[in-house]
Structure 1
Amino acid sequence: MDHKQPQQLEHIATDPNTGKDGCPSYYATDDGRYIVQGYKLTSDHARGQLVNFPDGEDAVIITKGLADLIVAHHTGTTA
């Protein structure tokens, strides 16, 4: 996996049903990848269930609303 850090982000969506904290959100990068912003998954029990979870990676929680917006963005539909 390429660990090069993107230089520019384009905000695509934030779940409008989560208030004004800006989270969870979805971004496109200047190098063709995507960033998901969300609250960090901190439950040791849940983190233990993640598959192939190497050092340097993290997991964040997103809402179904944001997942629907991501799918809509990539399929040209509406969420």
Structure 2
Amino acid sequence: MEITFVAKDPGSNPNQSPTLYKTDRGSWVVQGWSIMDPEVRRKMNIPEGEDAVEIPDRLVPFFLQDGS
């Protein structure tokens, strides 16, 4: 899989994370805050081999800025 940087969260300091990447497989990779709350994870019913991260609303507009 090849990834292309799209955006870092400009409102998150000091390291400007979360981060969005576009893949060559027609998908997105999101680097974000780990969801560690066991009750939230239980409600999500995340299968083995998958995970979930949280990103702020201010990062969502970057999903459509890469032109694909």
Common fold by TM > 0.5: yes
1:18 paired with 2:1, answer: no
Structure 1 segments of 4+ aligned residues over 4 angstroms from their partners = none
Q: Is the 8 A contact 2:21 2:29 kept in 1?
A: yes
Unaligned runs of 5+ in 1: 1-5
The residue identity in structure 2 corresponding to 1:47 is R
Per the normalisation by structure 2, the TM-score is 0.80
Q: Deviations over 1:11-31 (max 9, x none)?
A: 101110002424111101122
Q: Over aligned residue pairs, what C-alpha RMSD do you find?
A: 2.0
Q: Deviations over 1:47-70 (max 9, x none)?
A: 11215x210101101011112322
Amino-acid identity (%): 30
Unaligned runs of 5+ in 2: none
Task: Tell me the SS of whatever aligns to 1:21.
Answer: coil
Aligned to 2:47: 54
The residue identity in structure 2 corresponding to 1:31 is R
In 2, distance between residues paired with 1:69 and 1:15?
9
